[in-house]
Structure 1
Amino acid sequence: MKNFTRSNLTLSLCGLNCSLCPMKIGAYCPGCGGGEGNQSCSIAKCSLEHERIEYCYLCPEFPCSHYEGAEEYDSFITHQRQLRDLERAQIIGIEAYNTELFKKREILDLLLSEFNDGRRKTFFCIAVNLFDIADLETIMEQLVKYKSKDSFYLKQKSEKAVELLNRLAIEEGVELKLRKKPSGAK
């Protein structure tokens, strides 16, 4: 979007974790407010109309009608906890939230480099987005023994990572897939 730029490309204006998005990881998107590659966005337009606020939670109207149904469907990144993540950033402060995101990105990078069989990028992005750092670190501790073993093929390592993440998803009641908007839905 023209004239819309932001300094923090880790967390979007509306609460999406840009640093954990497969589009940003693949260099297809610069992130929210990251330059000329920005998509048109009604929330970015709203920010421009409200003195260029950096995060929606800084607006006196937050949460507004832009958030009605926002978590029901996903785009390239999960929206399931968009509002909750934005509220967490507001409570603990953006620096602390960014620190958490950097830790999550390190975990995601490790999953992608050591456990991705070429078909798990979106799955790992969703899982890292939706689980708390402590749970992710516990899973990574379990996976570390598979990381260093040459006897394990990438497919087996990937299957083990997926198994552990799916088990956690069942325990937490989390769905690890993108939810598409039905055709014709508004």
Structure 2
Amino acid sequence: MKNFQRNNLLFSLCGLNCGLCPMNLNQYCPGCGGGEGNQACSIAKCSLQHGKVEYCFQCENYPCEKYDNIDEFDSFITHQHQKQDMEKFKELGIELYSAEQQRKNVLLNHLLNTYNDGRKKTLFCVAVNLLELEDLEHIISELDKNASNLTLKEKSSHAVGLLKEAAAKKDIVLKLRKKK
């Protein structure tokens, strides 16, 4: 969107973790406010109208009607924790939250480079978005320790099993939710 640019391209204006999105990883999308050619976004337009707030929670009108049901359905990236992540970001601050997202990005890239059989990118992106950093570090440590002698297909299956098991313990479903 013209005239809309941001410094933090890992975390969007509206609370999405852009750095963990498959579209961002494939460099099809530079992230929220990451350059010319971005698709029009009603929330970015709203930000420009309200003094170019960096994050919606900084706006005096937050939460507004744009946030009604915002986390009900997903796009390329999960929206399931969008409001929750916005609150976490607000609480921790840009440095701590960004450090956590950068660590999650490293873990996601490790999963994709080591355990992706070519069909798990979306699942891995959703899992890294929704699971806690400590859970992800534990899972990857276990994978790295116990999966070295497996084929890529077996490694991938093992990774999926551990991620789904951790998600089930927290009542998290590792699928994108499509609009019906």
* TM-score range for the pair, normalised by the shorter chain length: over 0.9
1:158 Cα offset (Å): 0.3
Is the Cα–Cα contact under 8 Å of residues 117 and 155 in structure 1 kept in the other structure? yes
Q: Does 1:168 align with 2:166?
A: yes
- Is there any run of 5+ residues in structure 1 with no aligned partner, and where? none
Is the Cα–Cα contact under 8 Å of residues 30 and 37 in structure 1 kept in the other structure? no
2:30 corresponding residue in structure 1: 30
1:117 corresponding residue in structure 2: 117
- Is there any run of 5+ residues in structure 2 with no aligned partner, and where? none
In the TM superposition, 1:20-59 aligns within 5 A as: 20-59=20-59
Q: How far does the alpha carbon of each residue in 1:87-134 deviate from its partner, in whole angstroms, 9 at most, with x for none?
A: 111111011100000010011010000000000001000000001101
Distance 1:152 1:161 in 2: 11
1:171 Cα offset (Å): 0.8
Q: Does 1:77 align with 2:77?
A: yes
1:181 corresponding residue in structure 2: 179
1:170 Cα offset (Å): 1.1
Amino acid at match of 1:140: I
In the TM superposition, 1:91-110 aligns within 5 A as: 91-110=91-110
Q: Does 1:6 align with 2:6?
A: yes
Q: How far does the alpha carbon of each residue in 1:42-87 deviate from its partner, in whole angstroms, 9 at most, with x for none?
A: 1000000000000001111111111100110000000000011011
TM-score (norm 1): 0.95
Is the Cα–Cα contact under 8 Å of residues 115 and 157 in structure 1 kept in the other structure? yes
Distance 2:136 2:73 in 1: 24
1:37 Cα offset (Å): 2.7
How many residue pairs get aligned? The number is 180
Is the Cα–Cα contact under 8 Å of residues 29 and 37 in structure 1 kept in the other structure? no
2:157 corresponding residue in structure 1: 159
2:17 corresponding residue in structure 1: 17
1:140 Cα offset (Å): 1.1
Q: State the superposition RMSD in angstroms.
A: 0.8
Amino acid at match of 2:14: C
TM-score (norm 2): 0.98
Distance 1:179 1:37 in 2: 27
**Identity within the alignment, %:** 55
Runs of 4+ residues deviating >3 angstroms: none
1:146 Cα offset (Å): 3.9
Q: How far does the alpha carbon of each residue in 1:123-156 deviate from its partner, in whole angstroms, 9 at most, with x for none?
A: 0000000011011111111111245x2x311000
Distance 2:50 2:43 in 1: 10
Amino acid at match of 1:32: C
Amino acid at match of 1:124: F
